[in-house]
Structure 1
Amino acid sequence: MKLLRITPRLLGGILLSIIASLLNLGLPLLVRHFINLKQFAWSGLSKKVLLLGGLILIGNLLISTLSDYLISSEGDRQVRQLRLRLQKQVLRLPQKYFDQQISGNLTSRIINDVNVLRSFLTETIPATVTGSLTILGTMLITFSLDWKLTLLMLLVFPIDGLVTVPLGKISEVIADQSQSSLAALTGVTSESIKQIKTVKLNNAESDVLAKNTREINQLFSLSLKADRITAMIGPLQSMLSFCLIMAVVLYGAIRVKTGSLSTGTLGAFMMYFFQIIGPINNVALFYSDRKQMLGATRKISEIIGEAAEDQAKGQQVLEQGSSLLKLDQVSFAYQDLPVLEKVNLAARSGEKIALVGATGAGKSTLANVITRLYPLDAGRISLNGQASTDFSLRQWRGFFSVVLQENTVISGSIRDNLTLGLNRKAPDQELWEALAMVRLEEYVKKLPKGLDSLLGESGARLSGGQRQRLQIARACLRDFKFLILDEATSSLDADTEKIIMTALDQLRRTKNCGQITIAHRLATIVNSDRIYFIKNKTVIASGSHDELMEQVPDYRRYVHEQQVREKS
């Protein structure tokens, strides 16, 4: 899978880099000219040679600057496109995928692994191409000057290979392991910061530190291995290069003394020798860099290759007026464990229904399958007779406004949170009305920036109850047919909950929408038009609170247990 491409802009930058390198090949020849002069004099030829040398240096500076900019900017542009592509793909992945991932690992793939690809595109490829041509050009020039000295200089290639090839193979393995270790460290660090309040309240600092320390030590151990390899390669190459330089100097000095080689030519050879050391190392490191790039490509391609949520269905026309949501024989298993079995349920516009049952009965899972966060294993969900799968995911989820028990407040302002996902521009007056409905208006008005006040990460500057109320206000601003409240008032006191539920009842009648409430608190559900009692993964009874109390012993027992809990 091609994630980054060789574009005309990148090729242009590489071509300019090649030109700059070829210009450099002329400098040793100019130095040779001056060294070979019997007596330094400002002759016309010498002035021209000196002027040419100055022009080469200035031209090299300008061309190299433009080359570096073209290559770097093109790399940044492609990295931006790849990160956007990854972000779009991540947002389209099904909920099941995220249940099996650590968010920090995904973050590392999008940030760190993409940087590896950028480095290969903007550094390794240009350096390898330019280096190869520099080596070739140097060999052609030196052969024309003295083929014997050139053959001696060629020994640098097998000698350098003896060092870099075996150590490079070890480096490849370490680099791949380091990428995975860095992703794991990013994951645990992100999780520990995100859950810092839970960590502190449970006195779990030592546990979290131990977990993070393991990952840090793992990465440290791999870094030390890489450091040892690097520490060996550099001195070994320097030592071998020095030995070869001495051999070239000694052989060249003998040739100069015998008169078969000029001093200027020997000086030029030395310049060429030092000039190709860098390119030789760049070419030698190409395969280890390529291996690291392939590892990053594989991991990124795994994300891109994941099956996204089905977006294929188009916009369906839904008749105006009352809506009927039905679940017929719905079954669902999570990781091969049955969670729902043959569930039947109906909800109508203007009606308030409740889903109740013991913890783990499948109430929240029902909300998840209704909104198509998870695909059904069997059965059918329909709206006014039309199957849910006939609608695009975007259109189907637009029929529902959901408030979850867990914190879904995002970092940003109050306005950002209220208008999250809103497909229209809501005037400030409407935002204030939503806040007033959940009794947050006065609090927000006291903030220095009002609606534009920042809330911190995940709404850290709000209390738990304020966060829930803000989430309810956000939900009520949407245009929906059914409002789903999943333990949405669990952090509110009884009086505040009563006020908000009364406001939601009024909203339901005004919008002619349905309301599906999932709650344990009896006061939240007893006034529902119909209650679905869930046990053993299915709905075993439905009716009003009074009807269920009279007819269903299991429901009576459940209510009694809840009353005991609420009193204790």
Structure 2
Amino acid sequence: MQKPDSVPRTSPLDHHYSGEHPLRTLAYLFRPDRRRLSLAVLVFAVKHIPVWLLPLITANIIDVVVEHRPIAELWYNTGVLVFVLVLNFPLALLYARLMSSSIRRMGRELRSALCRRMQYLSIGYHARVSAGVLQTKVVRDVEGVEQMTQQSADMGLGAIMTLVGGLVVIGFRAPAVLPVFLVVVPLAALLVRRLRSRIRSNNEEFRLEVERMSSHVGEMTTLIPITRAHGLERTALHRVDHTLERVLSAGFRLDLLNGRFGALSWILLNTMAVGCLAGSAVVAYHGWLGLSAGDVVMISAFFTALTASLTTLMGLTPVISKGLESVRSMGEVLQAPDLESNEGKAGVDRVEGRIDFEGMGFRYPEATEASVRGFDLSVRPGETIALVGASGAGKSTILNLLIGFIRPSEGRILLDGADMAELDLRTYRRFLSVVPQESILFEGTVRENVTYGLEGGADDDALRRALVAANATEFVDRLPEGLDTVVGQRGARLSGGQRQRLAIARALIRDPRVLVLDEATSALDNRSEALIQDALSQLVRGRTVFVVAHRLSTIRGADRIVVMDRGRIVEVGSHQELLARGGTYATTLQPRRSG
């Protein structure tokens, strides 16, 4: 038997994410990089010196010219400015390296946390939330957080450094006008606070519409073969166009609000800048407060720089709001309570294959009546059990309960005498294999698909034996690159029968003790079914097997056939026993013959 997979480590955000405090979440994500980020801020402060030093140097040079000071002061001021300008280049590269590595690592951790959380969320959760929505959260939302952090760091730090540097210089050079500058900050903060709540709600509305669009586009691409076959292209496009119109409207409303916010802040701040320039010129003209001509230029330049910095900071509000909304969006996954709980439960080291269902029942949360009720069945190790019944009888629910995708609402399931509710199902599934109706392959080679999930892969001899037993060498050997042939997305380069034989080989190489066959041959032609029936006869040998099928050839060899109706067992027996009994199986449910 192969070495079992190691249990995946838990998400770094399992106990630290808080949707009400997204900034705290980001702080936690950046905690491993706090020294690197502190150094990045220090480097940025030094490289940003020319921005707030330039108005002071300009004022000094103007005063040298106007007041005929020694020419040496001109060259001294010019040299200082040239030095800090040249120093900007290596410091800018160092800052980019420090900041970018921290942000990209944070993005990787967020995506990793989301993907791990998705692996632990229940099958019921994945049935409710479309794959397109989850992909949007992993791709678009994380990208939004990365962009928010990058822009806040580059533009926000620059604006803050300019504000601090400018106010410090003015405080030393012209302290009398400092109070005027300080008026701008509370006014700008008031404007930001007033509009922030509306921007947040509009960002949330836009985000939800984009998620719906992603879900509908995913559905459209999946349904293209059916759409084309029935000439429903116009219907499909009309449905997507309706979603696109909703995205357009939500995005347009958000852009208008952002534009209104930016225009109001720009007018307010620049009006103040004009007033400051005129006021300082009047003061210098009358000789008040000892302001020189250079001081007037410096004050005007600083006011322009400070208003630009405040405009930048307020312009970041939509970006930050969008980024925080992305954090909240990811929180819908990171905080989803619908988890499969395995922590602290007993691990499974070996499986004999005895399964006991005792008074088991299950009702889905949204359902008005139970899907399975009063289900009692004892299965011996190595026994093959076939489940039959009309659609909605509860067969798939039984399989989901057996795999552990859902937990019984009442009663219990025993694995070799141990209550499965007390077991770590991840360790139990090391001894379980499932062959579904539609084989699930990924875009990799034949070798990668068959050995998927095996730690360290498998040697070529074991792989070859599994392929031979699954009757797969018949086509694998004819592929252009044999075992290293890429099968395409979802196995698109293979036929249905070929995909199913690879799925059987994948199950064989894992050497499971419990096997689930869910309509494994229902969609195949006669030749493919014959090959797969032969492969299945190899697969079920010595294993506890549960089969759901509609073809006689698939289930008549079962040790026992369980006939279900509306979640209950109505008959149990072998194929011949049930025919002789003349009950539900014989009269209405006898599977059709293959072909």
Q: TM-score, normalised by structure 1?
A: 0.90
Rounded Cα–Cα distance in structure 2 between residues aligned with 1:294 and 1:229: 17
Residue pair 2:407, 2:421 contacting (<8 A) in 1 also: no
Task: State the shift of 1:263 in Å.
Answer: 2.2
In structure 2, the residue matched to 1:380 is 412
In structure 1, the residue matched to 2:359 is 329
The CA deviation string for residues 88-120 of structure 1, in whole angstroms up to 9 with x for no partner, is 111011111111111111122222222333334
The CA deviation string for residues 203-260 of structure 1, in whole angstroms up to 9 with x for no partner, is 3332332222222222211222233234444454444455444434444444454455
User: In the alignment, which of 86, 98, 103 is matched to residue 131 of structure 2?
Assistant: 103
Aligned length: 561
In structure 2, the residue matched to 1:460 is 492
Distance change (3 Å), C-alpha of 1:456 and 1:495? closer
Matches within 5 A, 1:131-170: 131-147=159-175, 149-150=177-178, 156-157=184-185, 160=188, 166-170=194-198
1:112 corresponds to 2:140: yes
In structure 1, the residue matched to 2:212 is 184
Residue pair 2:64, 2:70 contacting (<8 A) in 1 also: no
> Which of 323-332 and 82-91 deviates more?
323-332
In structure 2, the residue matched to 1:274 is 304
Task: State the shift of 1:374 in Å.
Answer: 0.7
Residue pair 1:331, 1:378 contacting (<8 A) in 2 also: yes
Specify the code of the residue in structure 1 equivalent to 2:575.
Answer: H
User: In the alignment, which of 359, 366, 369 is matched to residue 391 of structure 2?
Assistant: 359
Specify the code of the residue in structure 2 equivalent to 1:302.
Answer: E
Stretches of structure 1 that go unaligned for 5 or more consecutive residues are none
1:494 corresponds to 2:558: no
1:83 corresponds to 2:111: yes
In structure 2, the residue matched to 1:421 is 453
1:3 corresponds to 2:33: no
> Which of 289-298 and 30-39 deviates more?
289-298
Residue pair 1:472, 1:488 contacting (<8 A) in 2 also: no
Task: State the shift of 1:331 in Å.
Answer: 1.0
Matches within 5 A, 1:380-399: 380-399=412-431
Rounded Cα–Cα distance in structure 2 between residues aligned with 1:479 and 1:362: 28
Distance change (3 Å), C-alpha of 1:212 and 1:248? same
Rounded Cα–Cα distance in structure 2 between residues aligned with 1:498 and 1:426: 28
Distance change (3 Å), C-alpha of 1:269 and 1:486? same
User: In the alignment, which of 15, 18, 23 is matched to residue 42 of structure 2?
Assistant: 15
1:438 corresponds to 2:470: yes
In structure 2, the residue matched to 1:309 is 340
Rounded Cα–Cα distance in structure 1 between residues aligned with 2:172 and 2:457: 74
Distance change (3 Å), C-alpha of 1:396 and 1:268? same
User: In the alignment, which of 279, 295, 310 is matched to residue 265 of structure 1?
Assistant: 295
What's the secondary structure of 2:77's corresponding residue?
A: helix
Residue pair 1:541, 1:552 contacting (<8 A) in 2 also: no
1:482 corresponds to 2:504: no
What's the secondary structure of 1:359's corresponding residue?
A: coil
Distance change (3 Å), C-alpha of 1:14 and 1:475? same
What's the secondary structure of 2:547's corresponding residue?
A: strand
Distance change (3 Å), C-alpha of 1:158 and 1:372? closer
Specify the code of the residue in structure 2 equivalent to 1:268.
Answer: M
In structure 1, the residue matched to 2:6 is none
Task: State the shift of 1:282 in Å.
Answer: 3.6
Distance change (3 Å), C-alpha of 1:376 and 1:162? closer
The CA deviation string for residues 116-139 of structure 1, in whole angstroms up to 9 with x for no partner, is 333343433675465345324323
In structure 2, the residue matched to 1:63 is 91
Q: Percent identity?
A: 27
What's the secondary structure of 1:446's corresponding residue?
A: coil
Residue pair 1:326, 1:382 contacting (<8 A) in 2 also: yes
Rounded Cα–Cα distance in structure 2 between residues aligned with 1:69 and 1:455: 39
In structure 1, the residue matched to 2:5 is none
> Which of 244-253 and 259-268 deviates more?
244-253
What's the secondary structure of 1:421's corresponding residue?
A: coil
Q: TM-score, normalised by structure 2?
A: 0.86
The CA deviation string for residues 258-277 of structure 1, in whole angstroms up to 9 with x for no partner, is 45542222221222122223
Specify the code of the residue in structure 2 equivalent to 1:501.
Answer: Q
Rounded Cα–Cα distance in structure 2 between residues aligned with 1:236 and 1:508: 73
Task: State the shift of 1:18 in Å.
Answer: 2.9
Distance change (3 Å), C-alpha of 1:16 and 1:488? same
In structure 2, the residue matched to 1:50 is 78
Rounded Cα–Cα distance in structure 2 between residues aligned with 1:276 and 1:242: 10
> Which of 477-486 and 189-198 deviates more?
189-198
Distance change (3 Å), C-alpha of 1:264 and 1:397? same
User: In the alignment, which of 242, 254, 257 is matched to residue 229 of structure 1?
Assistant: 257
Distance change (3 Å), C-alpha of 1:401 and 1:83? same
What's the secondary structure of 2:169's corresponding residue?
A: helix
User: In the alignment, which of 22, 34, 37 is matched to residue 64 of structure 2?
Assistant: 37
Distance change (3 Å), C-alpha of 1:181 and 1:163? same
What is the aligned-residue RMSD (CA, Å)? 2.9
> Which of 478-487 and 488-497 deviates more?
488-497
Specify the code of the residue in structure 2 equivalent to 1:97.
Answer: Y
> Which of 203-212 and 242-251 deviates more?
242-251
Task: State the shift of 1:479 in Å.
Answer: 1.9
The CA deviation string for residues 296-343 of structure 1, in whole angstroms up to 9 with x for no partner, is 333322322234212232324547xx6322222221112343111111
Specify the code of the residue in structure 2 equivalent to 1:410.
Answer: F
Residue pair 1:316, 1:390 contacting (<8 A) in 2 also: no
Distance change (3 Å), C-alpha of 1:231 and 1:489? same
Rounded Cα–Cα distance in structure 1 between residues aligned with 2:594 and 2:478: 34
Rounded Cα–Cα distance in structure 2 between residues aligned with 1:555 and 1:38: 107
Matches within 5 A, 1:121-136: 121-124=149-152, 127-128=155-156, 131-136=159-164
What's the secondary structure of 2:480's corresponding residue?
A: coil
Residue pair 2:49, 2:84 contacting (<8 A) in 1 also: no
Distance change (3 Å), C-alpha of 1:314 and 1:273? same
Rounded Cα–Cα distance in structure 2 between residues aligned with 1:423 and 1:243: 67
Task: State the shift of 1:546 in Å.
Answer: 1.2
Specify the code of the residue in structure 2 equivalent to 1:3.
Answer: T
Specify the code of the residue in structure 2 equivalent to 1:352.
Answer: T
Rounded Cα–Cα distance in structure 2 between residues aligned with 1:439 and 1:47: 87
> Which of 221-230 and 25-34 deviates more?
221-230
In structure 2, the residue matched to 1:215 is 243
Rounded Cα–Cα distance in structure 2 between residues aligned with 1:105 and 1:318: 38
Distance change (3 Å), C-alpha of 1:481 and 1:158? closer
Task: State the shift of 1:487 in Å.
Answer: 0.5
Specify the code of the residue in structure 1 equivalent to 2:253.
Answer: K
Residue pair 1:422, 1:478 contacting (<8 A) in 2 also: yes
User: In the alignment, which of 419, 426, 433 is matched to residue 401 of structure 1?
Assistant: 433
In structure 2, the residue matched to 1:194 is 222
Stretches of structure 2 that go unaligned for 5 or more consecutive residues are 1-17, 19-23
